[in-house]
Amino acid sequence: MQSTLCEQAHDEIGAQWRDRLNDARERLRRWEIARTDQSIRHDSATNNPQLGHLVGDVAVRIEKLDETIATAADVMQTQAREVTLAAVDRRIADLFDDLAKLDNAAA
User: Under DSSP, is residue 93 helix (H, G, I), strand (E, B) or coil?
Assistant: helix
DSSP 19-68: HHHHHHHHHHHHHHHHHHSGGGTT-TTTT-HHHHHHHHHHHHHHHHHHHH
Spell out the per-residue pLDDT of the chain, length 107, in tens: 455 666 676 677 778 888 888 888 888 887 777 666 645 444 444 556 677 777 778 888 888 888 777 776 566 566 566 666 777 788 888 888 888 888 787 66
List the one residue out of 95, 91, 88, 85 whose CA is nearest residue 10.
85
pTM confidence score: 0.58
Hey, which CATH number is domain 2-106, 3.40.50, 1.10.3470, 1.20.1440, 2.40.30?
1.20.1440
CA distance 8 to 15: 10
As a whole number of Å, the end-to-end CA separation of the chain is: 50
* pLDDT score for 62: 83
* pLDDT score for 57: 83
Domain segments of the chain: what residues?
2-106
